[in-house]
């Protein structure tokens, strides 16, 4: 059975809306993770020759990209919760 619909101003409906300006930084972080995978695989495939950036930098981007994106998403969700 479905829950009853909220009539009027219901804060639960606004809980998962994106904050203004939020999707762009998260898109950049997602793209950065994809670029890191590509560069890391290229580094491994070429044996490291002609590499400008060391592989530990790409590994850090692989870790911190999703972590920062998750923190930004949680911050936006918590900003829509009603203040107690």
Q: What is the pLDDT of residues 1-52, one digit of tens each?
A: 555 565 555 444 444 444 455 567 787 888 888 999 999 999 999 998 888 9
pLDDT given for residue 78 in this prediction: 81
- Please indicate, yes or no, if residue 1 is contained in any of the structural domains: no
Q: Which range of residues forms the domain containing residue 62?
A: 21-80
**pTM tops 0.75, yes or no:** no
**Of 16, 32, 31, 8, residue with least CA distance to 79:** 16
Q: Which residue has the higher pLDDT, 73 or 63?
A: 63
Q: Read off φ and ψ for residue 59, nearest 5 degrees.
A: -65, -40
Number of domains in the chain: 1
- Please indicate, yes or no, if residue 15 is contained in any of the structural domains: no
Band of residue 74 on the pLDDT scale cut at 50, 70, 90? confident
- Please indicate, yes or no, if residue 16 is contained in any of the structural domains: no
- Please indicate, yes or no, if residue 11 is contained in any of the structural domains: no
């Amino acid at each position: 059975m479905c829950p009853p619909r909220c009539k009027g101003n219901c804060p639960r409906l606004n809980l998962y809306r994106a904050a203004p300006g939020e999707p762009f930084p998260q898109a950049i972080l997602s793209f950065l993770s994809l670029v890191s995978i590509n560069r890391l695989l290229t580094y491994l495939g070429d044996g490291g020759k002609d590499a400008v950036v060391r592989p530990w930098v790409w590994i850090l981007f692989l870790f911190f990209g999703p972590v920062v994106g998750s923190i930004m998403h949680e911050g936006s969700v918590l900003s829509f919760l009603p203040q107690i």
